[in-house]
Amino acid sequence: MSSTARSLPRYLPPLLVLALVLAIPGRAHAVQAGGSLSLFPTNWGILPVGELIDVVVTANNTSTDTPAMVAPADGVAPVPAQLTGPITVKLACTDPLCNNQVSGKLAFVPVGPSGCVDKAAQVNSCSAAGPNAVTIDLKANGITIPPNGSVDLATIRLQVVNNDNISQLGLMAFTQPGALRACSSHVPNVCADCDASGCTTLVFGQRIITCPHACPERIIFRGGPQDPDFFEFHSLLIPGAPLDPPNQPFELHLSNQFFQEIFSVPQVVPVNGLNFVKQGDGTWTFRNDAARDNGGIAFIKISQRDGPGLAYKIDIQAFDPALEARATVPTMTVKFSIGPEDFETTNDWIQKQNGWLLNLP
């Protein structure tokens, strides 16, 4: 048996040529513009009145180009992006989208001729935009952010004006729509436009200083409503002004990580004729023996510490019948106030068979 070799004809009809071209896998090119703004406060908490906070505003670029085969895909490549201004930083936000702000809590503090503590060369100025916002103005051509890179745009300065009745407030930075542009490195004039934003949180109150020695914080479950559960707390603290316990009401609050109240004892001093008693220079004690059976604060001792600076040690003992039922998650916040001074700390407690234990570091 013999075989005959055959070859393709030298001439192919035009429609067949077109079909063969369409059958060859082609390269698909796409570009995506992506990025964010980061807010890095030099101090985020716990913030007393008068505290100055410098916030670094950084632009991050996650834009990519996609030189992809139809099958198989061959990956993406980071590309530079161009960011144009202005950048707006909203202050004192009370919700994730910053639809609501609290006035009179934070204030912008301009520094130097530009108003910025520090800035990139492509930034013109930092200025207040009403009572609750700051504008970072970029030059006309904006600023180039390298592929998969970041650029510090500016550092702005804020001051805590008032921290009454607040525990946390947010800051939110955002660009104008389409302010971030990334272009394809393969196809001319193919670009994508997007915006960028970012948020952070500030925590308010006075600072609680960790103990120089072991400070056992305890919650002990005592068995039932007839035997209120026991709470004990110790710490060092630095107020904004000297304390005057006999003439200042004292409040105590315990809550969990979901901001659910575990117990609250407002305005306990003076109570039922009981008040702080001075015992030597810079030491006051409060005692309420009935609290062991009825609930409430049983004992407080406030002692001014020796040495430079204004510091006090505080010891608290309290009883509450609902502790066992409500203290069910490890992350808990202790908050107390002495007159206008607020003190707050959040920690992960260790669960024990009959309660919880915390050793402040």
| In a shared domain, residues 118 and 222 | no
Amino acid 183: pLDDT: 92
Helix H or strand E encompassing 16: helix 14-23
Q: Alpha-carbon distance 121 to 316, whole Å?
A: 53
Q: Please check whether residues 169 and 42 belong to one and the same domain.
A: yes
Find the CATH number of the domain harbouring 34: 2.60.40
Final residue in a domain of this structure, among 177, 203, 229: 203
Q: Check residue 4 and give its pLDDT.
A: 40
Please check whether residues 274 and 290 belong to one and the same domain.
Answer: yes
d(CA 89, CA 250): 36
- Residue 72 within a domain: yes
pLDDT tens for the chain, 361 residues long, are 433 433 444 444 444 333 333 444 445 568 999 999 999 988 776 677 788 889 999 999 999 987 654 444 556 789 999 999 899 999 999 998 999 999 999 999 999 999 999 999 999 999 999 999 999 999 999 999 999 999 999 999 999 998 777 778 999 999 999 999 999 887 888 899 999 999 998 877 656 666 666 677 899 998 766 789 999 998 888 887 888 888 888 889 999 877 688 888 776 656 555 688 888 788 999 888 888 888 888 899 999 887 666 788 899 999 998 899 999 999 998 988 888 888 888 889 999 888 999 887 6
Q: CA dihedral in degrees (202, 159, 36, 58; nearest 10)?
A: -120
Shared domain check, 219 and 199: no
Of 166, 181, 203, the one marking the end of a domain is 203
Q: How many CA atoms lie within 13 A of 274 on its CB side?
A: 19
Q: Which of 154, 181, 203 is the last residue of a domain?
A: 203
Same domain (yes/no): 184, 57: yes
Residues 334 and 235 in one domain: yes
Contact, 200 vs 44, CB < 8 A? yes
Does any domain span residue 152?
A: yes
Residue bearing tokens 């997007």: 194
Note whether 232 and 261 are same-domain residues: yes
Instruction: Locate 276 and state its tokens.
Output: 């702080």
Statement to judge: residues 198 and 278 lie in one domain: no
Answer whether residue 13 is part of any domain.
no
Residue 187 lies in a domain: yes
- Is there a domain that residue 308 lies in? yes
Residue 1 resides in a domain = no
DSSP secondary structure letters along 311-337? -EEEEEEEEETTHHHH--SSEEEEEEE
Range of the domain at 300: 208-359
Please tell me the total count of domains within the chain. 2
Tell me: do 107 and 131 sit in the same domain.
Answer: yes
Closest CA to 335 of 168, 223, 157, 214: 168
The pTM (predicted TM-score) of the whole model is 0.57
- In-domain check, residue 15: no
Co-location of 63 and 198 in the same domain: yes
**C-alpha atoms less than 13 angstroms from C-alpha of 89 in its C-beta half-sphere:** 34
Asked whether the beta carbons of 35 and 197 are under 8 A apart, the reply is no
What is the model's pLDDT at position 70?
Answer: 43
Provide the β-strand partners of residue 265: 252
Identify any residues that bridge with 242 across adjacent strands, giving them in sequence order.
none
Nearest to 62 by CA among 145, 128, 124, 137: 145
Specify whether 158 is located in the same domain as 59.
yes
For residues 90 and 151, membership in a common domain is answered with yes
Q: Tell me, yes or no, whether 113 lies in a domain.
A: yes
Q: How far apart are CA 58 and CA 221, in angstroms?
A: 48
